[in-house]
Amino acid sequence: MTVAPSTTMHDEVRLLAGEKNAVILAHNYQRPEVQDVADYVGDSLGLSRQAAATDAQTIVFCGVHFMAETAAILSPEKTVLLPDLGAGCSLAASIDAEQLREWKAQHPGAVVVSYVNTTAEVKAESDYCCTSGNAKSVIEAIPEDCEILFLPDLFLGVWLERTTGRKLKIWMGECHVHAGIRPADIERWQDEAPDAELLVHPECGCASQCMAFGNERTHILSTEGMINFAKASPKPRMLVATEIGIIHRLEKEAPGKRFEPVNRKAFCKYMKMITLEKLRDSLRDWKHEVRVEPAIAAVQA
């Protein structure tokens, strides 16, 4: 391909995507310019659905490694590219397959529910995989008399216990970004912006405390749940307790409303490893392919 000198990187990416029959999927925490060039932007649940449904031969995943692996499991016949293999996840790294096997051995017969932020090997050892968008319904669908091992996020697990009334055995993992959003961040904003709605991701260290406030202005939501809420709500001002990348999408989808992060340092360095340039290189040079061993993928299909 010859690129005209005036062509922007955005145009170059779109041209390459067309030429290579590739679909670009981006998570809500991606850089604004990456979100803007993508075919679809969403949360883990929405991205998984898109990965399973697309007709394109190639999926370029602008997100973190476990998300690209999930796409490879759902679409084994397609090529899945991740523009930077260093894009990991501190939460997914908090448990490996060996640790899960040991935990299962201590609880024979228990049902294992893994959050999507896990490696493919951990998913292969699990009975169910959920996202923040469907975790509650997955837990509710499991018969009452079953013991449930939930992993790897401690705060999401505690929130699930409270909202479903089920007792869970919970792995003590956490996301360093969400765990860094503290109750003090929320308390400060409750005082400074008493008129605003508060949107909180269930991975937040403050999630359970927010629920304890028990007020109707607090909403515990997946990232896409936040977008849907912001679009539908008549309220003009919202405080956001999750990774700051979502502010771009919120402003785009619900123009005219005011969105403020409760903690401006809530920045996922892994999500931000994907740049427009690396995305262009990924399409141009066909890198980096993410594969899941067929034996591991088959357990989850």
Q: Which stretch binds ligand 13P (CB under 6 A): 79-87, 125-133, 208-216, 280-288?
A: 125-133
Distance CA 93, CA 103 (A): 16
166, two tokens: 């089920």
Size of the site for ligand 13P (CB under 6 A): 11
State the minimum distance, in angstroms, from the CB of residue 295 to ligand SF4: 26
69 near ligand SF4, judged by CB under 6 A: no
Q: Which residue, 91 or 124, has its beta carbon nearer to ligand SF4?
A: 91
| Burial grade of 215 (CB within 10 A; 0-12, 13-18, 19 or more) | exposed
Q: Which residue, 50 or 242, has its beta carbon nearer to ligand SF4?
A: 242
Q: Which residue, 178 or 280, has its beta carbon nearer to ligand 13P?
A: 178
171 near ligand SF4, judged by CB under 6 A: no
Full strand arrangement of the beta sheet holding 258-261: 218-220, 197-200, 237-241, 258-261
Please report, as residue ranges, which positions from 4 to 33 form the binding site for ligand 13P (by CB under 6 A): 28
Distance CA 95, CA 115 (A): 11
Q: Which stretch binds ligand SF4 (CB under 6 A): 13-21, 31-39, 119-127, 268-276?
A: 268-276
Instruction: Give residue 81's identity as a one-letter amino acid code.
Output: L
Mark residues 80-119: x for contact with ligand SF4 by CB under 6 A, - for none. Answer: ---------xxx-------------------------x--
Mark 23-50 as b/e (b = at least 16 C-beta within 10 Å): bbbbbbbbbebbbebbbbbbbbbbbbeb
Q: Alpha helices of 91-182 — where are they, by DSSP H?
A: 97-106, 120-124, 135-140, 154-164, 176-179
Please report, as residue ranges, which positions from 198 to 227 form the binding site for ligand 13P (by CB under 6 A): 203, 222-223
Q: Which stretch binds ligand 13P (CB under 6 A): 9-17, 30-38, 130-138, 140-148?
A: 130-138
Report the alpha-carbon angle 290-39-291, nearest 5: 10
Q: What is the binding site for ligand 13P (CB under 6 A)?
A: 28, 43-44, 117, 131-133, 175, 203, 222-223
